[in-house]
């Protein structure tokens, strides 16, 4: 080693901070080529990739679980119903620690979660959904802020309100489903009576009534099912614009669609299973007569 070199010499060389004189002398030295080769080869080392999305969703799902263990917070977002119920028990335990704060529950792609609310009402969250409520004053005000989709079985009591960016749904005690995303609000009543208030109108739904508001245009129809399809791992649609069907596929399977133009006026009536992304794509695209291709990067290309 050349004695002219101090203990930051190589660092300064890497940073192009050597003086002209130092640099010339170094380039003429015996070990210059070795260093050059090491630095060049180091450039071929690949940066490590981390799954930051799933880290973030686990961080969020752990918000109400300070006193639970890390293992328990892993269990919070669960893929299976059975685990969802187990997680509910942990959640209930945490209410005692966090009764002063709003409780936030959320699900990631393809996940569902079962929550028991403080009065025993059930809430099931579908994939990529988020609900916020305050369990401290729950008995005085049963109110949930929802983004996404959830199915409720409400214990009887005072008014139970689901607030979304597209309108409010309030009931006394009943079973109903609320879906709120990007310009779409649907409410289905399975039992009891449900009141829907949007900026345009007010409706009272009876069992079997299905309300839909799509970009401000509202309609009422009748359904035969006694629970939403997604609760039994199937998404069902009736005369639904294609873009919302694609959104539902994205929420379940974490896929991205790539396309030039969607058949805007085409509507989809049918379902897809949550068990297999290939089957789901086959079923939906087959019915819509859209050819598609799953590309190497995981995106799905829709052809004209």
Partner 1 sequence: MPDPKKTLCDESEFDAFFKDQVKSLASYLYYRFGDREQAQDIVQETFSKLWQQCAEVPLEKARSFIYTVASNLFVSVKRHDQVKLRYREQAVELNNVNNESPEYQILEKEFMEKLTDAIASLPEKQRAAYLLNRVEKKTYREIAEIMEVSVKAVEKLMHKALKKIKDRIGDL
Where along the sequence are the contacts to partner 1 (CB under 8 A)?
Answer: 1, 7-12, 14-15, 31, 33-35, 37-39, 41-48, 50-52, 55-56, 58-60, 62-63, 66, 70, 73, 102
Q: How far is the CB of 107 from partner 1 (least distance, A)?
A: 16
Quick one: 63 or 195, whose CB is closer to partner 1? 63
Q: How far is the CB of 1 from partner 1 (least distance, A)?
A: 8
Quick one: 43 or 82, whose CB is closer to partner 1? 43
10 Å CB burial of residue 96 (0-12, 13-18, 19+) is: exposed
Q: How far is the CB of 172 from partner 1 (least distance, A)?
A: 26
Quick one: 13 or 237, whose CB is closer to partner 1? 13
Q: How far is the CB of 185 from partner 1 (least distance, A)?
A: 22
User: What phi, psi does 281 have (nearest 5°)?
Assistant: -65, -40
H helix or E strand, kind and range, residue 243: helix 242-253
Q: How far is the CB of 2 from partner 1 (least distance, A)?
A: 12
Give me 55's structure tokens. Answer: 């880290």
Quick one: 74 or 236, whose CB is closer to partner 1? 74
Quick one: 97 or 120, whose CB is closer to partner 1? 97
The Cα–Cα gap between 304 and 291 comes to: 7
Say if residues 61 and 105 touch (Cβ distance below 8 Å): yes
User: What phi, psi does 270 have (nearest 5°)?
Assistant: 155, -165
Give me 49's structure tokens. Answer: 């990739």
The Cα–Cα gap between 126 and 270 comes to: 18
């Amino acid at each position: 080693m050349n004695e002219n070199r101090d203990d930051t010499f190589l660092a300064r060389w890497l940073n192009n901070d050597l003086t002209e004189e130092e640099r010339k002398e170094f380039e003429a030295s015996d070990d210059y080529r070795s260093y050059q080769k090491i630095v060049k080869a180091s450039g071929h080392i690949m940066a490590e990739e981390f799954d930051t999305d799933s880290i973030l969703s686990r961080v969020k799902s752990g918000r109400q679980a300070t006193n639970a263990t890390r293992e328990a917070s892993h269990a919070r977002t669960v893929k299976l119903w059975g685990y969802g119920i187990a997680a509910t028990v942990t959640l209930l335990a945490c209410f005692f620690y966090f009764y002063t704060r709003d409780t936030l529950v959320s699900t990631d792609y393809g996940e569902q979660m079962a929550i028991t609310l403080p009065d025993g009402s059930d809430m099931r969250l579908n994939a990529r959904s988020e609900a916020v409520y305050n369990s401290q004053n729950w008995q005085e005000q049963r109110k949930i802020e929802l983004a996404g989709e959830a199915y409720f079985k409400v214990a009887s009591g005072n008014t139970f309100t689901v607030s979304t960016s597209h309108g409010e749904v309030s009931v006394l005690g009943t079973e109903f489903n609320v879906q709120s995303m990007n310009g779409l609000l649907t409410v289905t009543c399975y039992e009891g009576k449900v009141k829907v208030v949007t900026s345009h109108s007010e409706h009272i739904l009876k069992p079997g009534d299905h309300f839909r508001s799509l970009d401000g245009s509202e309609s009422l129809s009748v359904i035969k099912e006694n629970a939403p399809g997604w609760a039994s791992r199937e998404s069902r649609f009736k005369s639904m614009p294609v873009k919302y069907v694609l959104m539902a596929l994205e929420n379940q399977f974490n896929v991205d669609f790539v396309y030039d133009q969607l058949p805007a006026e085409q509507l989809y009536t049918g379902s897809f299973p949550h068990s297999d992304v290939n089957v789901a794509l086959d079923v939906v695209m087959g019915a819509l007569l859209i050819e598609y291709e799953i590309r190497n990067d995981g995106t799905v290309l829709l052809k004209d």
